[in-house]
Copies of this chain bind each other. A is one copy, B any other.
């Protein structure tokens, strides 16, 4: 039996008292909600944002804060990289595909330089320097980082240019992004009701969405929205029942979220017949340190390599967890281990150290000869600067020599001093599927028609992702399409009245 909170739509005619009326009602105050609120308010609409937590920020504020932007931003140019919307599109189509929403992806790339400027105009600063090595997160204030663009096969699909933009903080920067966006929304005139949990959508007799019910301080309230409701409630990483129904791969693992990604916006809209897209797609992060993996080998339970270790680390994570037998191991030699400065090793401790591979494979429970064969093959080719299996860049290729260490991602590591959500299984993730929307955030029903008065953005919607993911595309498409939804909802005010 379902234990889900009911989200049955409420008929407007049954509402006896409106707690508040506004033009645009935004549900959820993460990055997409803040962007929508800012744009709607800037367009002159009255805006009210409902947030179930005690204050704004959501999962966005806890994120790394990377923004995937390109096409020739001033940071890219200052670091000496040429880029174009076409090259950005080619990369993302390959890295986020297959079968991403092409219209959204094209628009996102075409307007990326302008979207970068929008962040600058909101007060975010970006240092004109590049972090030039595989990592989950630089330990510096560098404003630019690679996110897989220079790794095979992507380096053959599009001209490589780094597009991970980072506001000037060390380690996690999501809080700073949200600080600026929330302030901007407030300055533009948006009002926030915190501790307010939206519970259902309100529809009039024509089927138009005209508000939402909510629970606030123990009271059941009805909020009226004259122009439209924008759902920016996030994904459903924290809803066990939705995960079991749609994305069970996350169930066993840690979650990258604020603990409140309950999928409620998706459910409220689906109760009205809204269409969803790619509800099973998840992003996963394996707590394997890219700087170590790239200098050695990432192998599965059989000691087999399965990916070039210099890809965007989310890609090697997904490849491991969704396609390879567990457990996974990072195999490095002493030279590789010592080449990574201790402050970047974030508390990583080798689980096993051994002079010989035969001894090590025994410790790891691999079949006899497994690791000997894998490392032997790797070394033979690496000695010639080649990786004919996975094409890791020659920069990282070197025969490995004993003593060897095996690092266990299940032991987790600390990012910026914070315990990783993946400690335990070594994996943490979040959901990418959501409501089917137009590029202006209008929610579509299963017949492909717009549900009047209803918008969505951020992880409550299916955005620019197909099966793949790259850091910075959540805050990136959440803000980009959040802005567009805010503009459209404010415009909807005129068409609705």
Contacts and interface: CB of A to CB of B under 8 A. Distances in A.
Interface string A80-108: 00000000000000000011000000000
A492 interface: no
B2 A271 contact: no
A444 B2 contact: yes
A3 interface: yes
A339 interface: no
Contacts of A445: 8, 271
Interface stretch (A60-68, A244-252, A253-261): A244-252
A341 interface: no
Interface stretch (A124-132, A172-180, A275-283): A275-283
A436 interface: yes
- How many chain copies? 2
Contacts of A302: 389
Query: Taking each of A7, A246, A445, A446, which has the highest tally of chain B beta carbons within 10 Å of its own beta carbon?
Result: A446
A251 B5 CA distance: 35
Interface stretch (A19-27, A366-374, A476-484): A366-374
B271 A273 contact: yes
Nearest to A251: B99
A284 to B, nearest CB: 14
Contacts of A4: 446-448
Interface residues of A, number: 52
Nearest to A302: B389
Contacts of A377: 369, 373
A324 interface: yes
B6 A447 contact: yes
Interface string A432-448: 00001000000011111
A446 B279 contact: no
A110 interface: no
A467 interface: yes
Interface string A1-17: 11111111100000000
A280 B279 CA distance: 8
B248 A446 contact: no
18 contacts: A1-B448, A2-B448, A3-B448, A6-B448, A7-B447, A8-B449, A98-B248, A245-B278, A246-B279, A246-B280, A270-B270, A270-B273, A270-B446, A278-B280, A279-B279, A302-B389, A323-B324, A368-B388
